[in-house]
Every structure is written in C-alpha cells, then in structure tokens.
C-alpha cells in the first residue's frame, strides 16, 4: 500500500509525514508530492518517495499519483479561485491515476460556514464526492497557530482584542490534526466518512483567562466592533492584504461557524485533544526560549 501526502513540505504536511513514520508506516510505503523536491530532502534521506508535482501541471499530478492507494489532499494556498483550480486538477488527476481513497483537509461545517475559505472546501468536497472515489473529509476547526501574531502582541503589552463576541472556537495545534490525518491514512474503516475535528469549544474570554494565569498578570479582553478590530490590526502592523480575511474570520466565529461539539478528534487520536491551556503554554514557552 502506498500513501501519498500533497503539500508535504508545508506546516501541516510535514507533520503528517512525521506522524505516519511514528506510527510505524514503512518509509518506502510513503510518498510525497512537492513542487520542489529539493525542499523534501529530509524525507528522501529517510526513504520516503519524493515525487515532483505542481497543482497547475496536470500531467505532473497524474504521474505523482500513479500507483497511490491512499491520497491525502491538503488544501493549497492562494485566493479562492486559485485554490479551487488547484483542487480540481488534483482531484481529477487522482481519478485518472486510479487512486483508491482520498482524504481531504476541509473546514468545519463547510456547507453553512461564513468563513472566507468555506467556498473552497464546499466545492472540493463536492468534486471528490462526484468522482466516486471513497473519501474521508477531515474538517479541521482552527489552528491555534493562527493566533500567534495575536499572542505576540499580547506579550508586548497589547490587550486581547476581538470582535467575535462570545463565539467559540475549537483551537487545536497542527500536530493533533496531523496525527488524526495519519490515523485515517494508516488504518481501515474510514471509507466515505466525515470527521468534524475540533478541540473543546472556547471563547476569546477563555483565552484571556488562560493567558492571565500563564503570564501571572491580567490580560485585558477588549470586545470591539468589526471596524475597530480592523483598525487595531492596522495599528499592529498586520498586512493590508489580509485585513478583510481576519475580520471575516471574526464574523464567522461570532456566528458560531467554529462552534463544534464533537468527539471525532479524540477518537481518531485515541487520546484527548491538546487543550487550549496546553497549547498556549507551549507557545509562550517557545516565545520565551527564543529571546
């Protein structure tokens, strides 16, 4: 059996390959599809099959996917139209190459979500379903690493600013999502499944309380409207091209799009998911160690 991971030099893909190796999957049974094989030399040294593929080059995708039993399609980067095109090329190349199973990293509740990335995931899930290839949709909630810039600002003395109100998020670090993906790829009984993967739903107020305890000082929580939140991001030096995205994420959280009550993640991990408190502790420790 050959398992192939796309985007394997990215932040999530790297962790998935490492998780597969930890699970005892032989390196020779793992392949990675990467645009630049030079960036995957660490995997090649371990015996992983490094295959060149570009989402915009269908022939390269078909070559990379040939002989693959189980494929993990990690969502690509770029604007929505670019990502949809990339995913279409990958999905239909998988069909042409005879891939037997596709796991896809989607988002929470894509059919109803207001997240700016939800459209990509709705369309991609539909494309995969229509191929007839057995699938597993891994609907990842929200990476705690997405809050790193916010946490840096707090360590520099800023309050925790949000326009999400009392909306909840199932924050979990990438490593848990990676291990869940590795579990699906390396074990049976996941044909045509949908997993809502989430940590314990928590609010930004919960985050402020946890940070206050960890930092041994009060971290003020400042609830603002969307316009004020955008202005705060500008003042903190966030890239202008991402401002709309960040505001729309806050709106989606406020509307409950990342509020997920599910045991799917802990079931796949065969352990509790890493908690918000544990995640924040690890991130703050890394910040302090790097200074």
Token pair, residue 138, equals 């891994």
Task: Please identify which residue in the block is written with the tokens 């030099």.
Answer: 9
Q: Which of 18, 11, 147, 131 is nearest to 75 (CA)?
A: 11
Q: Domains in the chain: how many in total?
A: 1
Tell me if 154 is assigned to some domain.
Answer: no
Q: pLDDT tens for residues 189-245?
A: 999 999 999 999 999 999 999 999 999 999 999 999 999 999 999 998 888 889 999
Tell me if 131 is assigned to some domain.
Answer: yes
Prediction pTM value: 0.96
pLDDT in the model for residue 291: 66
Q: pLDDT tens for residues 34-57?
A: 999 999 999 999 999 999 999 999
Token pair, residue 256, equals 């409950």
3-state SS class at 73: strand
3-state SS class at 189: coil
Measured at the alpha carbon of residue 65, what is the angle toward residues 61 and 69, in degrees to the nearest 5? 160
Tell me if 136 is assigned to some domain.
Answer: yes
Query: Does residue 259 have a pLDDT over 70?
Result: yes
Residue 73 · residue 4 · CB < 8 Å: no
CB neighbourhood size of 286 (10 A): 10
Domain ranges, residue 70? 3-141+173-198+262-269
Looking at residue 61, which CATH number applies to its domain? Answer: 3.40.50.720
Residue 27 · residue 54 · CB < 8 Å: no
């Amino acid at each position: 059996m050959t398992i192939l991971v796309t985007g394997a030099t990215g932040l999530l893909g790297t962790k998935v390959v490492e998780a597969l190796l930890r699970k005892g999957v032989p390196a020779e049974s793992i392949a990675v599809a990467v645009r630049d094989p030079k960036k995957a030399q660490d995997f090649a040294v371990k015996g992983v099959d490094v295959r060149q593929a570009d989402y915009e080059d269908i022939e390269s995708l078909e070559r990379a996917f040939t002989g693959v039993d189980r494929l993990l399609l990690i969502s690509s980067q770029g604007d929505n139209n670019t990502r949809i095109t990339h995913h279409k090329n990958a999905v239909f190349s998988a069909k042409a190459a005879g891939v037997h199973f596709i796991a896809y990293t989607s988002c929470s509740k894509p059919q109803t979500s207001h997240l700016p990335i939800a459209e990509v995931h709705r369309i991609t899930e539909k494309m995969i379903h229509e191929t007839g290839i057995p699938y597993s949709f891994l609907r990842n909630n929200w990476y705690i690493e997405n809050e790193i810039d916010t946490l840096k600002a707090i360590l520099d003395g800023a309050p925790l600013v949000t326009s999400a109100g009392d909306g909840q998020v199932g924050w979990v670090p990438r490593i848990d999502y990676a291990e869940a993906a590795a579990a699906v790829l390396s074990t049976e009984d996941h044909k045509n499944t949908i997993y809502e993967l989430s940590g314990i739903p928590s609010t930004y107020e919960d985050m402020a309380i946890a940070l206050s305890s960890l930092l041994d000082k009060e971290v003020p929580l400042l609830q603002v409207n969307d316009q004020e939140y955008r202005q705060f991001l500008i003042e903190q030096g966030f890239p202008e091209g991402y401002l709309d995205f960040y505001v729309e994420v806050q709106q989606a959280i406020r509307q409950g799009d990342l509020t997920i009550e599910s045991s799917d993640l802990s079931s796949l991990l065969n352990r509790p998911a890493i908690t918000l408190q544990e995640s924040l502790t690890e991130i703050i420790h890394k910040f302090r160690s790097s200074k």
